[in-house]
Amino acid sequence: MSTTQETAQARTRTIMYREALNEALREEMRRDPKVFLMGEGVAQRGGSYKVTTGLLDEFGPKRVMDTPISEASFVGAGVGAAITGMRPVVEILFVDFAMLALDQIANQAAKFKFITGGKGKVPLVLRTQGGVGSGLAAQHSQSLEALFYHIPGLKLIMPSTPYDAKGLLKSAIREDDPVIFIEHKLLYMTTGEVPEEEYSIELGKADIKRRGTDVTIIAWSHMVLRALAAAEKLAEEGIEAEVFDPRSLVPLDKEMIIDSVKKTENVVIVQEAVRRGGIASDIASIIQAEAFDYLDGPIEILAGKNTPIPFNLNLEKACVPQEEDIIEAVRRMVSGT
Amino acid sequence: MSTTQETAQARTRTIMYREALNEALREEMRRDPKVFLMGEGVAQRGGSYKVTTGLLDEFGPKRVMDTPISEASFVGAGVGAAITGMRPVVEILFVDFAMLALDQIANQAAKFKFITGGKGKVPLVLRTQGGVGSGLAAQHSQSLEALFYHIPGLKLIMPSTPYDAKGLLKSAIREDDPVIFIEHKLLYMTTGEVPEEEYSIELGKADIKRRGTDVTIIAWSHMVLRALAAAEKLAEEGIEAEVFDPRSLVPLDKEMIIDSVKKTENVVIVQEAVRRGGIASDIASIIQAEAFDYLDGPIEILAGKNTPIPFNLNLEKACVPQEEDIIEAVRRMVSGT
Amino acid sequence: MAKYSKAMLAGLYKTLYTIRVFENSCIKLYRQGLIRGYFHPYLGQEAIATGVCAALEKDDYITSTHRGHGHCIAWGGDLKKMVAELLGKETGYCSGRGGSMHIADITAGNLGANGIVGGGIPLGLGAALGASIRGERRVAVTFASDGASNNGVFAESLNMAGAWNLPYILVIENNQYAVSTPIEEVTRVSDLYKRGPGYGVESVCVDGNDVLEVYQQAKEAVTLCRRGKGPVLLEAKTYRHMGHHVNDPGAYMPEETLAYYKSKDPVKIGRKYLLEMGKATEEEARDIEKAVEHEMEEAIEFAVTSPEPSLEEFLKEV
Amino acid sequence: MAKYSKAMLAGLYKTLYTIRVFENSCIKLYRQGLIRGYFHPYLGQEAIATGVCAALEKDDYITSTHRGHGHCIAWGGDLKKMVAELLGKETGYCSGRGGSMHIADITAGNLGANGIVGGGIPLGLGAALGASIRGERRVAVTFASDGASNNGVFAESLNMAGAWNLPYILVIENNQYAVSTPIEEVTRVSDLYKRGPGYGVESVCVDGNDVLEVYQQAKEAVTLCRRGKGPVLLEAKTYRHMGHHVNDPGAYMPEETLAYYKSKDPVKIGRKYLLEMGKATEEEARDIEKAVEHEMEEAIEFAVTSPEPSLEEFLKEV
Ligand SMILES: Cc1ncc(C[n+]2csc(CCOP(=O)(O)OP(=O)(O)O)c2C)c(N)n1
Ligand SMILES: Cc1ncc(C[n+]2csc(CCOP(=O)(O)OP(=O)(O)O)c2C)c(N)n1
Ligand SMILES: [Mg+2]
Ligand SMILES: [Mg+2]
């Protein structure tokens, strides 16, 4: 169990990731009338991945709104509403479609506070989901977090467990800066323990999902599950991997990363997104700058291939890191070959 | 003089960067009737930075077209025309506005060839310009190349000299994959030598703009000029810096980078774009992976601050690397302190 | 209504029936687990692709949607390559890289289905632009949806096509839903062709379940475009016969409305035209149907026995 | 035309004249090198900001454009903070971070100028949406341009405002050019208000040089919006008095057209209203003018003597 969860002494329940998100939305909407939701099918349909189920019934059509397929404008409307005192949670069905709204995200939401000399604020949450599913092909499978990561003014959260999903979404809604909150289509039905009581998780705090001494595996979103599975197998061989989940990519918990690296002296970063220009590269560049003398050898990045995602399932699988890839990379590194 | 230019034995003229671009367009349009231009003000006005001056007169309104402010659709129209046999050169006034067209760029242009199993092709050039000017503020000063760099299916060219600008634009127009061609607002009026004769430069070949043995300074676009100026000053102190200009970020000439690094064992990467998630991080991650044992110490990245660009000129200047920053970084590195 | 030859009506019916059989057969393959990913059936909308494509010539261009099988078939697509693509096989139109949402037949001028709602609109505009620059008389047709009409590229592209007098036909298949959201909830004027006049664009509305009405209006639109009087906005009203995708039960679709549109089944209407206007016999109609069913069986056989794409080859490419 | 009180007309004239003086003075500062970056003067369009803002109440919202000084002034902006911002000073509206294209006065409900053409449209939509959710009677006005009307967000947002009956007024200041490109070259119907009906949105066109006409129509639009009958699309026809920005000679603007619009100078028209309808004396008008000029001098003095933003502070923030 993760460090964060260890500190939580509460009674827990086992729920799905999508239920955890639903609870976060519901609790925040009850707490604060300024919170409202909009997106395609979030109201009547309760969301493509059932994250917003039941919220229309409880909060009514003024606070849970179905939009037309006008991504640029409904995201921008979220920004405008946020500037004027609301706390919108806007859903974009697939992160791929966020490209249609990128001007409003990067040029409006991200810039507004800065441009106004800190006088304006944009408490907007943009929920979306990414990653490979099974056979959804090139325009419905991307991992595009690196684009948001590079735009100053945005926060970027990618939870891997129901516990993190709920706690981080609640904090994201209370945050005064725009937050890009990226879920993963393969995580919605995964389960995990979540406290009975209310809680939230501070943005910018990483979580060690498994402690280890031989290697630090840094992974986020769905790749955390692969890393954990790999770590279990590696443990059978006597290799103790630390699985490090930043959870929050912006802000990034650099200090905790460096501490882990100093302890293990070996780093594998696992990223579903394509290798070229991904966040893994940036994390690697930080580690080599700040912990150069601790590294036993080069940081290894396991990442998606530099290609759009193919429809065919065999090809698709070859495009993103698998459990076995992680095991092999760690073995190579620890054995020093 | 750069290696590439050394090999060219031709008689040369000194022209401006924007004139070099203009010549490239004119020559390619004369050569191939499928080449046409569109963008805001490219026809009658001859372009905001005078790159397309005179082309309307020579080629007429069917091949040099002013568009409405409909970035998504005119970029998409470029993609559609390219798929069906044309070779459009589409201009987006500022790279900041490319955000409005990112769906057509990332989801259509970049994916098309792959999606069709290689049967379709998109010989589109998207010309735009980025970077800090003087006092153009947050929405007209960005360096956004990292976004395109991360999208498989796009090529990415950023020339720093008139010679490179002309030779690379000609190749970009002849290329069958979509090319993002990013100019820099502070380069348009810089001058350099360009051969009298026709020439082109292969995409994906780096150029060493200055030879040196003590440190490799990797820089592109406007930062090459700063790196060269810094290198001259450093030479007075006896430090010989190699100034390495990838010119083409995708494809990236990794081999030539690694060769240079193996020679100098010290690397400074200078990037105008914000530090977080920039291309410098990716290049650093490649170098540390492929030349770890050659590095004397960590790779240093000098980059833009993680902030939108402020309007005030003093603040603006503090946001991007200056000549003195490069000099200091190299000194620190070479002296080993 | 004009009178059409038996051959013409038989051709239309064959297309209508092929789309119907293709979708029904592939839904079965989907339920068997042979097809994965998203599958948006064209059932109920067959007359639109059929009527519009019949009005085009082979060197024209089309762009399609996420609900694109019908357009590909009406454009003369090869069922074998289509099924193979849906199965992710190397022999498919896109060598298994694309799947249902990306089927394209570039060399034939079908620029492809599209996973981005509205994504094909600028592509079609660009195809029309290219033809216009080259001085050809080709026309480009974009099939788009009611949902797409609310995306920015719709207005932008319609405006540009107008400003540049392009040979461009923008077809809105108004099936009245975007997934489960009714068009009336997301716009005040659900007659979407009414958006054309604001841009000075010739705009018409047709019964999208009546293949001859679609054909006639499309023909007129094509004629206008070839005369340099394009673009044209063509709205075709229709309704799906099932939910948004294969796994959507479509519970939000009122039973009476569904029953009404099923009573106006485009395939039945096409058959009726063949029998009544075309004076074909019941047997002749059945012959067409049998031929289609046979072709479909062969296509499935071909696809199922086709090889998977080579992983090694793929890894070499990327 | 209704009759207006002298006080009202004096107020309108004061605003018109302030914008005029502000722009002319700041152009001088620009030519002296004190202002950098882009500067798009509002000269010739003064009546639009003035008339529309006069129809609003202080808790309403506005969003502005890259040509935004006039909106900020008409909204009651502080000239001192404005000039200071143009000079990049710490005392400016945005502490010198924004400059001309980003001047905003958030607490007062001016959500700011915008460097992205059309960028403010969805922001205004969202302000209206928020007000509607909270059940307030506030209205949001977006000032937009003819160029912005061809960007996707225009149609998307207009449609959403209609579907949701939002208290939203979308003002198009049709000055007939996007930089040097005439509106007729990029659209077939250059009466841009004609795009509204396709979306079921109440749409009107006014003479953008006549402050009372603008005011009256804006007032009606506001009334509709407050009654829950919004949105409204309001096109105001106008023309710039010079090129696109300070350094654009505007050679493409035909002399006769420019002369015609200068003969309909919005500031002169406003003065005439004050004198004729308001029965003010020449001296009273001059008093207004002198007061404005004095205020402007003070603003410049304030801005010039204001401190630069602290570099250390800034570096701590980022
Ligand atoms: C830009 C974009 N936004 C959202 C989606 C997700 N999506 C896929 S189909 C669909 C509904 C489309 O409705 P409509 O456009 O009317 O086409 P129909 O399915 O009715 O044929 C949505 C929202 C998408 N594919 N692209
Ligand atoms: C999205 C976008 N595209 C292009 C530009 C560059 N640009 C700045 S002003 C301008 C012309 C604007 O014309 P219009 O919208 O009519 O406004 P006006 O200048 O006439 O007030 C252009 C193209 C921009 N700022 N934003
Ligand atoms: Mg629909
Ligand atoms: Mg204009």
**What residues does each domain of chain A span?**
3-195, 207-335
Distance in Å, alpha carbon of B32 to nearest chain C alpha carbon? 12
Predicted local confidence at residue A335, as pLDDT = 85
Residue C300, CA atoms < 13 Å, CB-side half-sphere:
18
CA-to-CA distance for A114 and A93, rounded, in angstroms?
28
- Print the domain residue range for D195: 6-240+251-308
How does B105-125 read in b/e, with b if 16+ C-beta sit within 10 Å? bbbbbbbbbbbbbebbbbbbb
Report the pLDDT averaged over residues B142-168.
98
Tokens of A172: 């994201």
The β-bridge partners of D237 are D174, D207
Asked if D95 contacts D37 with a C-beta cutoff of 8 angstroms, the reply is: no
pLDDT in tens, D87-107: 999 999 999 999 999 999 999
Would you put residue B21 in left (φ > 0), alpha (ψ -120 to 50) or beta? alpha
One DSSP character per residue, C282-294 reads HHHHHHHHHHHHH
Residue with the bigger pLDDT between C318 and D149: it is D149
Ligand 1 and C44: CB distance under 6 A: no
- Report if residue D222 sits inside a domain: yes
Predicted local confidence at residue A112, as pLDDT = 98
CA dist A275 → A307, C209, D48, D188, D236 (Å):
9, 48, 52, 46, 51
Tokens of D117: 């053409």
pLDDT in tens, B10-34: 799 999 999 999 999 999 999 999 9
The model's confidence at residue A38, banded by pLDDT at 50, 70 and 90, is very high
The model's confidence at residue A1, banded by pLDDT at 50, 70 and 90, is very low
How many Å lie between the centroid of ligand 1 and the Cα of residue A187?
A: 23
Predicted local confidence at residue D265, as pLDDT = 98
CA-to-CA distance for B108 and B102, rounded, in angstroms?
9
Tokens of D177: 């050019």
Under-50 pLDDT residues of chain C: none
pLDDT in tens, B175-205: 999 999 999 999 999 999 999 999 999 999 9
The catalytic position among B23, B28, B71, B300 is: B71
Predicted local confidence at residue D308, as pLDDT = 98
Asked if C164 contacts C132 with a C-beta cutoff of 8 angstroms, the reply is: yes
pLDDT value at A240 more than 90: yes
Q: Do C150 and D159 touch (CB under 8 A)?
A: yes
How many Å lie between the centroid of ligand 1 and the Cα of residue C178?
A: 6
pLDDT value at A6 more than 80: no
Enumerate residues lining ligand 2, CB below 6 A.
Answer: B 40, 69, 71, 93, 97, 100; D 40, 65-67, 115-117, 145-148, 175, 177-179, 244
Cβ neighbors of C174 (< 8 A, separation 6 or more) are C145, C146, C149, C183, C190, C192, C208, C235, C236, C237, C238
Nearest residue (CA) to ligand 2, atom 17: D145
From the list B205, B208, B209, the residue with the least C-alpha distance to B192 is B209
Q: Give the residue on D whose Cα is nearest the Cα of C185.
A: D163
From the list D24, D93, D20, D12, the residue with the least C-alpha distance to D53 is D12
DSSP structural state of residue B298: P
Percent of chain D past pLDDT 70, that is, above it, reads 100
Dihedral of alpha carbons C240, C241, C244, C250, sign? positive
Predicted local confidence at residue B1, as pLDDT = 42
Residue with tokens 């700011």: D112
- Report if residue D54 sits inside a domain: yes
From the list C132, C140, C119, the residue with the least C-alpha distance to C52 is C140
Whether domain A207-335 has CATH 3.40.50.920: the reply is yes
- Our CA angle for B270, B272, B276, nearest 5°, is 90
The domain total for chain D is 1
D41 touches chain A (CB under 8 A): no
Tokens of D284: 């009273």
pLDDT in tens, C46-90: 999 999 999 999 999 999 999 999 999 999 999 999 999 999 999
Ligand 2 pocket test: which of D117, D154, D238, D252 has the largest number of ligand atoms within 8 Å of its C-beta?
D117
From the list D63, D48, D65, D228, the residue with the least C-alpha distance to D141 is D63
Ligand 1 and C148: CB distance under 6 A: yes
How does B223-257 read in b/e, with b if 16+ C-beta sit within 10 Å? bbbbbbbbbebbeeeebbbbbbbbbbbbebbeebb
Which atom of ligand 1 has the smallest separation from the CA of C119? 1
CATH of the domain at C88: 3.40.50.970
Report the pLDDT averaged over residues B271-294.
97
CA-to-CA distance for D75 and D61, rounded, in angstroms?
9
Q: Give the residue on A whose Cα is nearest the Cα of B283.
A: A281
**CA-atom Rg of chain B in angstroms:** 20
Asked if C91 contacts C81 with a C-beta cutoff of 8 angstroms, the reply is: yes
Residue D231, preceding peptide bond in cis (omega within 30° of 0)? yes
CA-to-CA distance for D284 and A92, rounded, in angstroms?
57
Asked if B245 contacts B206 with a C-beta cutoff of 8 angstroms, the reply is: yes
Asked if D197 contacts C196 with a C-beta cutoff of 8 angstroms, the reply is: no
pLDDT in tens, B289-332: 999 999 989 999 999 999 999 999 999 999 999 999 999 999 99
pLDDT value at B4 more than 60: no
Q: How far is CA B315 from the centre of its chain?
A: 25
pLDDT value at B8 more than 90: no
How does D16-40 read in b/e, with b if 16+ C-beta sit within 10 Å? bbbbbbbbebbbebbeeebbbbbbb
Catalytic residue flag (residue B71): yes
CA dist A115 → A250, B261, D98, D115 (Å):
20, 40, 5, 11
Q: How many CB atoms lie within 10 A of CB C47?
A: 32
Nearest to A80 among D107, D122, D164 (CB): D122
Asked if C141 contacts C56 with a C-beta cutoff of 8 angstroms, the reply is: yes
Helices C282-305, C6-31: axis angle to 10 degrees equals 40
ipTM over 0.90: yes
Predicted local confidence at residue D130, as pLDDT = 98
SS3 for C128-182 is HHHHHHHCCCCCEEEEEECCHHHCHHHHHHHHHHHHCCCCEEEEEEECCEECCEE
Asked if A243 contacts A208 with a C-beta cutoff of 8 angstroms, the reply is: yes
Which atom of ligand 2 has the smallest separation from the CA of D173? 21
How many Å lie between the centroid of ligand 2 and the Cα of residue D115?
A: 8
Predicted local confidence at residue A21, as pLDDT = 98
Report the pLDDT averaged over residues D157-185.
98
Q: Do D36 and B313 touch (CB under 8 A)?
A: yes
Report the pLDDT averaged over residues D269-281.
98
pTM above 0.95, yes or no: yes
How many Å lie between the centroid of ligand 4 and the Cα of residue B93?
A: 16
Amino acid type, C304: V
User: What length is written for chain B?
Assistant: 337
CA-to-CA distance for C207 and C187, rounded, in angstroms?
20
Domains A3-195 and A207-335 share a fold: yes
Q: Give the residue on C whose Cα is nearest the Cα of D149.
A: C156
Which atom of ligand 2 has the smallest separation from the CA of D174? 16
First-last CA distance in chain D? 54
CATH topology of domain A3-195: Rossmann fold (3.40.50)
How many Å lie between the centroid of ligand 1 and the Cα of residue A284?
A: 38
pLDDT value at D272 more than 80: yes
> Chains that contact A by 3+ CB pairs under 8 Å?
B, C, D
Residue C308, CA atoms < 13 Å, CB-side half-sphere:
12
Q: Do D189 and C196 touch (CB under 8 A)?
A: no
Catalytic residue flag (residue B140): yes
From the list B334, B313, B15, the residue with the least C-alpha distance to B162 is B15
Ligand 1 pocket test: which of A38, A49, A74, A93 has the largest number of ligand atoms within 8 Å of its C-beta?
A93
Q: Is B91 helix (H, G, I), strand (E, B) or coil?
A: strand
